[in-house]
Structures are given as C-alpha cells and as structure tokens.
Structure 1
Amino acid sequence: MPINPAGAFDYEAADPQILVRLADDAELTLWTMHRAVAAIGQLIVHAAPQIEVANGHPLEAIGWLLVDVGKFCVFAQDLAIHCRSHTYDYRPSDSSSSSSCSPS
C-alpha cells in the first residue's frame, strides 16, 4: 500500500484491485470480530455467576480487551470505507483476476 508524504495510506496511488481485496478482507475481519465480541458476551453471561465478586480482575481484563477490539474495528471499518470509496467505479478488465474463492 503506497504511503503519502504525510505518512497516511495513499488510496489514489494504490492499485484498485488491491483496494478491493483489502476492503473485502477488512469487512470479513470486521464481521469476525463482531462475532467474537458477541461470543465473549455470551461467555460472560454464563460465567459471571461463578466469578467471585471480590475478584473483578478477569472481567476487567476482558473489558480492556473489548476496548482494544473496538478500536481495531473502527480502524477496519474506516479502511474498508476508504477502499470502497476509491473503487466504487472499478471494474476488473480480466475475469481471471477475481478471487479464487468465487464460484466458477
């Protein structure tokens, strides 16, 4: 990914195919992280009655983890939005360049 003089991603100079793949990967990662946060929430609900109220350290650590996951999700969403906004009119010229995961 090209970097501009200010140290930020240079979406204008990037290959559109890379931006599309990057947006796809960021969105998939974001979806996975949302599912993981939901799973952690389910675990907390089921485990909370067994955790000593006087010892909140494990729950506090999970809370800090969720804060960091939230910050990452903001970055992933921002990355996907910027990549999509720079490739909204991009159409690959070669159908063989599409992802290997797509149906044939």
Structure 2
Amino acid sequence: MECYLNGEKVNAELLTARNSSISSNNQQVDVYPNPTNGLISVLANEDAIVQVMDINGSVVYVQTSLMAGQKQEVNLQSLANGIYMIKIYNNNFVSLKKVVVNK
C-alpha cells in the first residue's frame, strides 16, 4: 500500500485479524515481564520464530529457534526505550504481543 508520511512516500502493509486470541487454536504464547528492562522471556507450545518490530514496523531483532515448551530469553537491552511488537509465528499460527521497554 502506498502512503505518505510528512509529505514523503512510504510503503505500508495492512494486516487484518479475525480473532485477537490464539487460544482458540490451542496455541499458547507467553511474553514476560511487560514492561521490561530489556530482558524478556518467550514461551510457546510449538516451535516458532520470534521477530521484534519497532513502532515503525522495522524488524529490529529475529530469533529463529524458539523450541516448543522451552522458555527462550530474548535480550532487547540494546533497543531504545519505547513500544515494540513481538511477533511469534510458524506455519500454523501468528501471535502479536505489545512490549514496553523501559530501562
């Protein structure tokens, strides 16, 4: 989608969700603590990929080896304070979680 921000042309992607809860698909995803000082734990009941996006939608972190049932520590301490979206996904599900980094 073509959009303009402050008079400049930018690309945008429109995502639509039919259901904001993935628990109906028997998927469980936990991201904690929130807010965080930069260290978060991610737990999912299926193997997945973790992406962290800033408020502009730019991917600032990728973890490709989230193992089912195992807590994975994600270090976001190099990121500036602010709001980030954590996307946990695989071929079967997508989960988006908002996380506040406040160091």
Confirm or deny a common fold (TM above 0.5): no
Structure showing the higher strand proportion among its residues: 2
Q: Which of the pair has more CA radius of gyration?
A: 1
Query: TM-score, length-normalised on structure 1?
Result: 0.21
Task: Give the TM-score normalised by the residue count of structure 2.
Answer: 0.21
